[in-house]
Amino acid sequence: MRFNIIAVTGFARPTCLLINTASLFQSSIHLEYKGRSVSLKNSPTSIMDVMSLEIKPGTTFKIWADGVDEHQAIKSIEKALIETWRIS
- The answer to whether 23 and 41 have CB atoms below 8 angstroms apart is yes
What strands lie across the sheet with 36-39, from one edge to the other? 2-4, 60-66, 28-33, 36-39
pLDDT tens per residue, range 7-23: 655 667 778 888 999 99
Buried residues in 51-60 as b, exposed as e (16+ CB within 10 A): eebebeeeee
Residue 8 is predicted with a pLDDT of 56
Residue 87 is predicted with a pLDDT of 61
Amino acid at 53: L
pLDDT tens per residue, range 56-84: 877 888 999 999 999 999 999 998 888 76
